[in-house]
Amino acid sequence: MRKPDISAIMTCHSEGVLVGPSLKSFFQAIQHARHHGLIVEPIIVLDRPTEATERQFSRPIEDASIIRTNEGDPGQARNAAVKVASGEYVSFLDGDDLWSDNWLYEAHRFCASNPTNIIAHSEFNVVFGMVRAIWWHIDSTDSSFKLDHLRFGNCWDAMSFAKLDIYRNYPFKKNQISTGFGHEDWHWNCVTLDAGIQHRPVEGTIHFKRRRKGSQMALCDANQAMVWPNPISSYSQQ
């Protein structure tokens, strides 16, 4: 039996009943990819789940593998799943967010047709909840992209799609919000781009990002956390 084409990873923490819609989105995208002949391995991470979150998994969840971690950190929960993943590619979904149904299939088609290793992102994000916005993901190969963009703000979120080896070679850094450092996705984007791996949007795909109290982004904003120093933010790459 051939190994999975994709390891689809969903990380859950304190989302409670919000996990329900996210699980539906997770498996709809998986079924869409499977319908087009791809083998998808679902992995769910319960990282220090609240009681309300734990209750969402009181019954078996289709054919997903469930792993438990005690990290209390989104990046470290992703790293734990990456260690056990067996797919050629990996993609992440946060436990309160949503994928467009075509995400896994189109991201796989886009990456598999590219002669070089790339990190794929949705064409744009629809942000909802406490904040309403649309966030377009820029192509790092486009002439309009400048490194200064990434020095002053994050250009791509963590719900990316790339080869398993990329996530293993470049694990996410643990947030240390109490000491003023966070934004593990922003840091990861800087490190991987500095390593020569391009970040590119997949046309026709959408991620739906929920903004709520108590989320990692909200905690970073409340504590005015900064991204860790890296070659791009340190201006070693001009």
Exposed / middle / buried, residue 30 (Cβ in 10 Å: 0-12, 13-18, 19+): buried
| Residues 6+ away with beta carbon under 8 Å from 188 | 75, 158, 170, 172, 173
SS (H, E, C) 103-165: HHHHHHHHHHCCCCCEEEEEEEEEEEECCCEEEECCCCCCCCCCHHHHHHCCCCCCCCEEEHH
Q: Do residues 75 and 175 make contact, with C-beta atoms less than 8 angstroms apart?
A: yes
pTM for this model (two decimals):
0.90
State pLDDT tens for residues 50-94. Answer: 999 999 998 888 789 999 999 999 999 999 999 999 999 999 999
| Measured distance between the N- and C-terminal CA atoms of the chain, rounded to whole angstroms | 47
State pLDDT tens for residues 206-234. Answer: 999 998 565 555 454 554 556 767 778 76
Query: Among all chains, which residue has been given the structure tokens 């340190």?
Result: 234
For the domain spanning 6-227, the CATH number is: 3.90.550.10
State pLDDT tens for residues 94-143. Answer: 999 999 999 999 999 999 999 899 999 999 999 998 888 998 999 999 99
